[in-house]
Amino acid sequence: MSENCALRRANVLANHILQSPPQPSNISLAREACLQYTPPEVNESYGFQVKEMRKLLDGHNLEDRDWLYGIIIQSNLFNRKIRGGKVFVSPDYNETMEQQREISMKRILHLLEKGVFKGWLTETGPEAELKKFALYEVCGMYDYSLSAKLGVHFLLWGNAIKFFGTKRHHEKWLKHTEDYLVKGCFAMTELGHGSNVKGIETVTTYDPRTEEFVINTPCESAQKYWIGEAAIHANHAIVISQLEINETNQGIHVFIAQIRDQDGNICPNIRIADCGHKIGLNGVDNGRIWFDNLRIPRENLLNSVADVSPDGEYVSAIKNPDQRFGAFLAPLTSGRVTIASCAIYSAKVGLAVAIRYSLSRRTFSAVATGPEVLLLDYPSHQRRLLPLLAKTYAMSFAANDMKMMYVKRTPETNKEIHVVSMGLKALLTWHNMRTLQECREACGGQGVKTENRVGHLKGDYDVQTTFEGDNNVLMQQVSKALFAEYVSCKKRNKPFKGLGLEHMNSPLPVLPTQLTSSTLRCSHFQQKNVFCLRERDLLERYTCEVAELQERGESRELSFLLSHQLSEDLSKAFAEKAILQAVLDAEAKLPAGSIKDVVGLVRSMYALICMEEDPSFLRYGYHSRDSVGDVRREVSKLCIELRPHALALVTSFGIPDAFLGPIAFNWIEANAWS
């Protein structure tokens, strides 16, 4: 060690021991300025009137929606909390399952006191039904457990009495149900049978001596399963059961059974168990029910379709058992309509949170010393969210059309409502799940926090894809309905009418070989050519394949099963065309101006992203490899054109700030130490 080095080390040790101050340094430790939140509204402009766009999107009952928003936001019962200087309302997911169930019922009773449910069962007509749809959608945006409980009580239990019952049932049950003096559930699904309703095993017989029906659960697989409200709150149940009269099975029928007394005690000859904790919807008390020779009065058969006389004679105006079975599934149509529309409002919440966050959150710099870039200014982020935004807009128009079709239904339109509601229920709920997952990821770690809503909505809404009809099964039924319509028209040599198949009366469209930007955005090309050609070709392929299989000796049902891939492609083509038609109809009614221009961009994005994402366009030759590339490039161009409208488009959802998550606003202040 050199002398200088030793001396230097000795000085360091001496300074340390003597705690002398350190030598001054020329290194600058100046602090960079902290990140500051900038509201998106500062830098983003509205290129159209958002209030007018909201009228177009919500479609009906805006004042009623805003009234209910206010009731929820103003009550501490809905878990009001202040984050970043703003009020937010959302369920408290720190609560136990038992607490979530009880608070859900307290919230229902609070809304009952405020008159929210007035007329939900006792008023009739399109206006009353549309108001019910609107208020139900608002409840679903706050908490799907809340709307699911309402759905069980009003749409399943209540509508079963309304549709299947007669005057005596309406007078006895409907007003009491609306006032929650009766709490109902809908016991159809069993451990062994869900989608296959015909196969349920619960059996009801008739005892003419006492004029009573006797309901029995003959085996464990026949236990009623996943019955919402059954575990705790319901005191009556709609029971879907096989009816045996004089040892002849008359198929499924609908009965009313009391399962608890007014004090909440389970009635004799009934056993009830809890289904337990779920991945979502833990505010709903799903239960299992066994009937041990439960006796109910003869009058508790809902007898609008069929009846049993006091001496045990079975009578029905509908002699065909299959037609009778179809009549018993009517309440599920209203359920599917509400499920589809609620799914879109859930997607709106997710997109509003994710897009607002992406308009204030920055990351990385485009140049070495430049500012960090907004998330939504990255082309990849635009590609993730803006096509989903366009799809959500398109599906909103379709959901509104479906609701209008439902509230104005006639016997002649019931078939079309049934088919359309199945297709849209499947597509819209699948879209919701995909959208929420993308929004969750687009929010990064903040998307994992339940207070930011997106992640937990995914868990709550997941069940939509399988309840009131498994989506895959529903889509198979759509294809079968189209098959039946096609075969019927061909056999009778009649033109197609209904189910949107009228385009098949026209010559086969021919697609251009060169797809320019203007061609791809042309509504006639999108709807009259591409989407109609896809549906037409797939329907013809499907019917041919089923016919060929039957000619080779396969049964009709097995032929359908073996053709499942074409069935899936066809049903998707049908539903996507119906959605595109809804956008075109909405667009056609608009006067020239900024809103019409933006809806046109949304419509083009919807049509082209469907073309890009569906392999059938390439698989069956509707597009060449070159044209697929043209479509993809046009989608990217549309992302750039929709980007300036992103804030205005999500603001047009009309969702109050309090229904979103803190990261949609000042996420720095919301996470400050306090």
Predicted local confidence at residue 35, as pLDDT: 86
Above pLDDT 90, what percent of the chain?
84
Torsional class of 180: left (φ above 0), alpha (ψ -120 to 50), beta (otherwise): left
Q: Residue 4's pLDDT band (boundaries 50, 70, 90)?
A: low
pLDDT digits (tens, 9 = 90+) for 491-507: 999 999 999 999 999 99
pLDDT digits (tens, 9 = 90+) for 542-580: 999 999 999 999 999 999 999 999 999 999 999 999 999
| DSSP H stretches of helix in 375-513 | 379-407, 414-442, 454-461, 471-492
Say how far apart CA 276 and CA 288 lie, in whole Å: 10
Predicted local confidence at residue 8, as pLDDT: 62
Predicted local confidence at residue 13, as pLDDT: 54
For every residue of 551-573, DSSP letters joined together read HTT--HHHHHHHTHHHHHHHHHH
Q: Residue 284's pLDDT band (boundaries 50, 70, 90)?
A: very high
Predicted local confidence at residue 58, as pLDDT: 97
Say how far apart CA 301 and CA 673 lie, in whole Å: 62
Sequence ranges of the domains in the chain: 184-322, 328-493+507-659
> Judging by beta carbons within 10 Å of its beta carbon (0-12, 13-18, 19+), is residue 280 exposed, middle or buried?
middle
pLDDT of 31 higher than 60 = no
pLDDT digits (tens, 9 = 90+) for 368-420: 888 899 999 999 999 999 999 999 999 999 999 999 999 999 888 889 999 99
Range with the lowest mean pLDDT among 22-36, 39-53, 181-195, 638-652?
Answer: 22-36
The CATH number of 184-322 is 2.40.110.10
Above pLDDT 70, what percent of the chain?
95
Predicted local confidence at residue 28, as pLDDT: 45
Predicted local confidence at residue 1, as pLDDT: 47
The CATH number of 328-493+507-659 is 1.20.140.10
**Among 129, 468, 576, 634, the one annotated catalytic:** 468
Q: What is the mean pLDDT of the chain?
A: 93
Please report, in angstroms and rounded to a whole number, the separation of the first and last CA atoms in the chain.
55
Catalytic residue status for 178 = no
pLDDT of 17 higher than 80 = no
pLDDT digits (tens, 9 = 90+) for 198-243: 999 999 999 999 999 999 999 999 999 999 999 999 999 999 999 9
Tokens 């009313």 identify what position? 256
Predicted local confidence at residue 16, as pLDDT: 54
Amino acid at 467: F
Instruction: Read off the pTM.
Output: 0.92
Say how far apart CA 643 and CA 605 lie, in whole Å: 12
Q: Is 435 annotated as a binding residue?
A: no
Q: Is 189 annotated as a binding residue?
A: yes
Q: Residue 23's pLDDT band (boundaries 50, 70, 90)?
A: low
Predicted local confidence at residue 218, as pLDDT: 97
Closest listed residue to residue 252, CA positions, set 155, 323, 162: 323
pLDDT digits (tens, 9 = 90+) for 605-649: 999 999 999 999 999 989 888 899 999 999 999 999 999 999 999
